[in-house]
């Protein structure tokens, strides 16, 4: 087809077919109204969709935060198995104001635990040993094998477990680590005291090592080791609090014999029965010795029986009053 033929065909077109102008205008109005209504609807849907997406993003973000936070706390190895709280204990986390501590709280390295004058804690460590935090003591958990003693006293008893693992109590004046033992660490301003009941304890200070053996008490000042001397545990001030913070002993239904065996184990006193083992088994006890010192517990219990006691050079002698 050439240009002329195209012209011929196009010239057949006399006029374009057009819709009625008035109807077309009416149609335009109707279509425009429909379009605008649809636009509004789409905008509303878009807004609702955007709001839903924004809400979803916020929810997901919050979930991620919670999960991360949860993972963060779960990701760390547990620093202890369990803690028993007695009296008022305060916890400082993330430099926030101290709040009363509960046994179910999740601790992180750096948390500070402070016991009040009427409070103490018993930490059951992962290796089965027991760490007792005395009244008016402040500690900082560093890891499951290290704790920082800011002030006050700690009693670490590893004799109750067969699988004691290394554990370090650090202070400004030195770090104390045990070699299977029962020992007390007392940290006061410018004074560190370590009293060992059994076994041995190593103290490292300024790249020097000191060893403290059973029944020895070492005092350290900023200037160095001040003194090492022997002590008897049951009534020494550094030990008396550990007895007070024992798990409560239920006297009711126990015999005097049972009580003497129990208290001798907890004070390292040797018992001189004087032939009263069998008789004391028939003496049943009542009352309580909770939060009492060794001496007070002995006095309280023996006062309710016909027996007396006497402590001489680390031996607990049982005496019958009637004889």
Q: Where does this chain bind other proteins (CB under 8 A)?
A: 1-20, 23-24, 27-28, 30-32, 34-36, 38-39
Q: Least Å distance between CB 43 and other proteins?
A: 8
Distance of closest approach, residue 24 Cβ to other proteins, in angstroms: 6
CB of 16 vs other proteins, minimal distance in Å:
6
Beta carbon nearer to other proteins, 16 or 96: 16
In angstroms, give the least distance from the CB of 22 to other proteins: 11
Give residue for tokens 């279509």.
31
Q: 38 vs 102, which CB is nearer to other proteins?
A: 38
43 φ/ψ angles, rounded to the nearest 5 degrees: -65, -40
Query: Pairing mode, if any, of strands 270-272 and 315-320?
Result: parallel
> Residue 267: which of 233, 291, 237 has the closest Cα?
233
For 6-107, list the strands marked E by DSSP.
82-86, 89-92, 99-100
DSSP tag of 139: E
Give the single-character DSSP code of 305: S
SS3 268: coil
CB of 36 to other proteins, least distance (A): 8
Q: Which is nearer to other proteins, 15 or 230 (CB)?
A: 15
In this structure, what DSSP letter does residue 163 have? S
Q: How far apart are CA 56 and CA 64, in angstroms?
A: 12
Q: What are phi and psi of 280, to 5 degrees?
A: -70, -15
Least separation in angstroms between residue 45's CB and other proteins is 11
Q: Toward other proteins, which CB reaches closer, 34 or 108?
A: 34
């Amino acid at each position: 087809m050439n240009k002329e033929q195209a012209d011929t065909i196009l010239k057949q077109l006399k006029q374009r077919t057009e819709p009625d102008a008035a109807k077309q205008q009416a149609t335009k109005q109707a279509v425009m109204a429909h379009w605008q209504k649809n636009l509004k609807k789409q905008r509303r849907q878009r807004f609702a969709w955007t709001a839903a997406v924004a809400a979803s993003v916020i929810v997901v973000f919050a979930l991620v935060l919670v999960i991360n936070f949860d993972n963060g706390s779960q990701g760390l190895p547990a620093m202890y198995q369990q803690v028993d709280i007695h009296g008022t204990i305060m916890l400082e986390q993330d430099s926030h104001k101290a709040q009363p501590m509960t046994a179910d709280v999740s601790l992180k390295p750096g948390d500070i635990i402070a016991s009040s004058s009427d409070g103490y804690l018993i930490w059951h460590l992962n290796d089965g040993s027991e760490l007792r935090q005395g009244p008016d003591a402040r500690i900082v958990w560093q890891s499951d094998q290290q704790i920082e003693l800011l002030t006050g006293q700690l009693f670490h008893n590893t004799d109750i477990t067969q699988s004691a693992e290394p554990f370090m109590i650090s202070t400004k004046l030195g770090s104390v680590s045990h070699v299977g033992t029962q020992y007390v660490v007392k940290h006061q301003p410018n004074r560190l005291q370590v009293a060992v009941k059994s076994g041995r304890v190593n103290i490292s200070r300024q790249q020097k090592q000191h060893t403290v053996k059973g029944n020895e008490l070492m005092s350290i000042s900023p200037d160095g080791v001040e003194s090492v001397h022997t002590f008897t545990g049951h009534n020494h001030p550094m030990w008396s609090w550990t007895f007070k913070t024992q798990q409560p002993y239920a006297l009711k239904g126990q015999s005097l014999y049972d009580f003497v065996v129990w208290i001798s184990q907890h004070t390292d006193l040797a018992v001189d029965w004087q032939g009263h083992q069998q008789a004391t088994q028939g003496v049943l006890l009542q009352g309580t010795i909770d939060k009492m010192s060794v001496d007070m517990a002995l006095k309280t219990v023996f006062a309710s029986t016909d027996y007396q006691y006497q402590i001489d050079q680390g031996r607990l002698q049982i005496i019958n009053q009637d004889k």
